Chains A and B, each alone.
Chain A
Amino acid sequence: MTAYIIRRLLFLIFVLFGVSVLIFGLLMTFSPERRAAVYVTTPQQAKDIPKLVKQYGLNDPVPIQYARWVKEVASGNLGWSLVAARPVAKAFWSYFPTTLELNLLASPLVIIVGIWLGTLAGVHRDTWIDHGTRIGAIVGWSLPTFLFALVLLMIFYGYYGLFPPGIISSDTSLWVINNPDKFTRYTGMYTIDGILNGHLWVTWDALNHLVLPVLTQVIVVVALLMRVMRSGMLEELSRDYVITAKAKGADAHTINIKHARKNALIPVITVAGQLVALSMEGSIAVEVVFSRQGMGWWLAHSATQLDMPVLMSVCMFIGVVFVLSNLIIDIMYAYIDPRIQLQ
């Protein structure tokens, strides 16, 4: 097990190297002037572009630039984020908690709802429950996330004035800043900090802003889980051990939950990596529409500003998260399926 984890961590380094080369290669498709233009915001500044090229060594051979970049990264300097107006590494810590908060709330819901609905559909195959959930899943799958999010925003905030966009209301935010002694931002997530500091109304306010984002996120991601769960259940329910259990005198609930569902969870775990990826993608649209300043938002805005250093760092970061989450998934796999042994 330990050996396995160590191997996977080595693999992580390999992946990071690969990703960095890949992205750096993409960055180098820009002309040096174009890369210097990143530092320019007004027509007036444009005249300094050739000087900027020289200052930042953007005309050097690619391997030298790459080596310089690696050296900078090794010393903790991931570059400058235009959107965040601060170094990438610092900006990361202010954006990451927002995304984490969203997914911490959405993921359990996704898992519970997805597994529950998938099981239900699988057990009640070809009934209206099955058809309903399936069609729901396909329609959900066919909805562009951002469109759905916008419609939600329009209905709830536009017409009813409920669930405002953003992370927290400005009153609360102001109160938090004015009372640093009463409110410490331990995690950067208002929901959790509110509980830790004993100011539940802060949590409530933050949750109020989270309702629509979480709803969108859940609906985007849950379709996949539901589908896999359903087909897993169908497959498992046709297996012989189900008949064995039946012949033992097991009731339907025991068969479905204790026997079939546990087995059906195994294919679900194989798509867990995909679920993580989906959540990341979902976060982009959700955060942009609901103007929540998180990783996805940062990424989208950096992309529109063609801010390559950020894109690079974010890609690397996502690579790390992805490989680590796959590692966790593998360990979970081994836990659920006794036949697997990690070596």
Chain B
Amino acid sequence: MEATLPTKKEHPRWRELKFTLYRIFRNPSAILGFSLLLFFLGVAVAAPHLAPPKFEHAPYQMPHKGYSPTPKPPSAANIFGTSSGQYDIYYGIVWGARTAFKIGLFVVGFAGIIGISLGVIAGYFGGWFDELLMRFVDIVWSIPLLVLAMTIVVAFGRGLENIMLALALVEWRWYVRVIRSEVIKLRGQEFVEAAKLMGVSDIKIIFRHILPNSIYPVLIMASMDMGSMVISASFMSFVGLGAPKGYADWGQMVALARNYIVGPPDDPLKFWYTIFFPGISIILFVLAWNLIGDALRDAFDPKLRRR
């Protein structure tokens, strides 16, 4: 008890962080989320050792023996079985973990950086830039994420890279809105006004006062997005805009397995492995991020935290 007690020497922000971490890890769902995440992270990092690629220059290309469209059940050679086209599902799952992180990190990173920088500038300085940006956001806002992203993918061409790009090009609007409203709330507060009166430069105010206090909702959103973007990408694959067959992407693997969801009449679950392994990977991956996001929300929400 004594150890967790805040003492006066600690920096308040550090103390705050400790408290937050305590809150997060008091939550069993967060622990579950982080362990799942660590697992996937481990798989992604160790991918070249877990499943050595056949061609060095194309590691995401799943190896296959033969071309038969009928999936084969798990065996010693293919422990998760093979999908249509005889692609090794195990290989796809392992390298797909990298793809999933790639999708999440790229989309969230890109959207986050654009959204945060534009949102902070617009919210802090206001004026014509704010007006212009927000009208543009209004326009983009009037089309749901998937619809707009689909349109962009269609325009740029199919493929995972374009899906990622499209999602990022749509998702930034969230970050702008959230951070801008936080910044506007903070802008009017005494400590910012005081800093301004003391002649602190705008940049310094933004980095010292505004960002640290407005970043939490963004963090929560980012962690949720890490998962939901993988779902969105898999949805695009499902619609038929995704990576080519044989690319190690869970979403595409599920989407392509949909034709094998029902087996022959005498054995309806014959091809269970084609949908089960990639499906469960997506669900667990997204679940991990959502559990973390949920725990973060509980921990950061100023209205709920002190109780």
In the assembly, what is the distance between CA of A151 and CA of B272, in Å? 11
Nearest CB in chain B to that of A312: its residue? B151
In the assembly, what is the distance between CA of A244 and CA of B121, in Å? 43
- Which residues does chain B contribute within 8 Å of A19, judged by CB atoms? 139, 142-143
Cβ of A300 < 8 Å from any Cβ of B? Answer: yes
**In the complex, are the beta carbons of B282 and A311 less than 8 A apart?**
no
Residues of A194-227 contacting chain B, CB below 8 A = none
Chain B 272-302: CB-based contact to A (< 8 A → 1; otherwise 0): 0001000100110011001100100100010
What's the A-B contact tally at a CB cutoff of 8 Å?
140
In the assembly, what is the distance between CA of A318 and CA of B147, in Å? 9
Give the residue of B239, B255, B268, B304 whose beta carbon is less than 8 angstroms from that of A300. B239
**In the complex, are the beta carbons of A144 and B294 less than 8 A apart?**
no
From known contacts A158-B262, A285-B238, A304-B240, infer whether A138 and B290 are also in contact, taking CB-CB under 8 Å.
yes
Q: Which residue of B143, B227, B241, B254 has the most chain A CB atoms within 10 A of its CB atom?
A: B143
- Which residues does chain B contribute within 8 Å of A134, judged by CB atoms? 29, 294
Chain B 144-157: CB-based contact to A (< 8 A → 1; otherwise 0): 11111011111110
Nearest CB in chain B to that of A308: its residue? B154
Chain A 281-322: CB-based contact to B (< 8 A → 1; otherwise 0): 100110010000000000110011010100110110011001
From known contacts A138-B287, A231-B301, A300-B239, infer whether A322 and B143 are also in contact, taking CB-CB under 8 Å.
yes
Stretch at the interface among A23-31, A46-54, A62-70: A23-31
Nearest CB in chain A to that of B298: its residue? A231
Cβ of A147 < 8 Å from any Cβ of B? Answer: yes
Cβ of B140 < 8 Å from any Cβ of A? Answer: yes
- Which residues does chain A contribute within 8 Å of B251, judged by CB atoms? 144
Cβ of B18 < 8 Å from any Cβ of A? Answer: no
**In the complex, are the beta carbons of B144 and A322 less than 8 A apart?**
yes
Residues of A218-263 contacting chain B, CB below 8 A = 231, 234-235, 238
Give the residue of B135, B151, B258, B283 whose beta carbon is less than 8 angstroms from that of A303. B151
- Which residues does chain B contribute within 8 Å of A11, judged by CB atoms? 138
**In the complex, are the beta carbons of B150 and A145 less than 8 A apart?**
no
From known contacts A26-B155, A158-B268, A303-B154, infer whether A288 and B239 are also in contact, taking CB-CB under 8 Å.
yes
Q: How distant is A111 from chain B, measured CB to nearest CB, in Å?
A: 19
Cβ of B101 < 8 Å from any Cβ of A? Answer: no
**In the complex, are the beta carbons of B143 and A315 less than 8 A apart?**
yes
Cβ of B57 < 8 Å from any Cβ of A? Answer: no
Q: How distant is B103 from chain A, measured CB to nearest CB, in Å?
A: 13
Chain A 144-161: CB-based contact to B (< 8 A → 1; otherwise 0): 111100110110001100
In the assembly, what is the distance between CA of A308 and CA of B150, in Å? 11
Cβ of A142 < 8 Å from any Cβ of B? Answer: yes
Give the residue of A135, A288, A304 whose beta carbon is less than 8 angstroms from that of B241. A304
- Which residues does chain A contribute within 8 Å of B268, judged by CB atoms? 154, 158-159
Give the residue of A23, A30, A231, A323 whose beta carbon is less than 8 angstroms from that of B151. A23
- Which residues does chain B contribute within 8 Å of A315, judged by CB atoms? 143, 147-148, 151
**In the complex, are the beta carbons of A147 and B156 less than 8 A apart?**
no
Number of A residues with CB within 8 Å of any CB on chain B: 53
In the assembly, what is the distance between CA of A32 and CA of B28, in Å? 57
Q: How distant is A219 from chain B, measured CB to nearest CB, in Å?
A: 14
**In the complex, are the beta carbons of B287 and A319 less than 8 A apart?**
no
**In the complex, are the beta carbons of A27 and B155 less than 8 A apart?**
yes
- Which residues does chain A contribute within 8 Å of B287, judged by CB atoms? 138-139, 142
Nearest CB in chain B to that of A134: its residue? B294
In the assembly, what is the distance between CA of A138 and CA of B303, in Å? 21
- Which residues does chain B contribute within 8 Å of A144, judged by CB atoms? 231, 234-235, 238, 251, 254, 279, 282-283
Q: How distant is A293 from chain B, measured CB to nearest CB, in Å?
A: 15
23 A–B contacts from the bound complex (CB under 8 Å): A23-B151, A26-B151, A27-B155, A139-B283, A141-B290, A142-B283, A144-B231, A147-B275, A154-B268, A231-B297, A235-B304, A238-B303, A281-B146, A285-B235, A288-B239, A303-B151, A303-B153, A311-B150, A315-B147, A315-B148, A318-B142, A319-B143, A322-B143
Known: A285-B235, A303-B154. 20 other contacts (CB 8 A): A14-B139, A15-B142, A22-B139, A29-B155, A138-B291, A143-B283, A144-B234, A144-B251, A147-B279, A147-B283, A151-B261, A153-B261, A231-B297, A234-B303, A235-B303, A284-B146, A299-B147, A303-B151, A304-B240, A322-B142
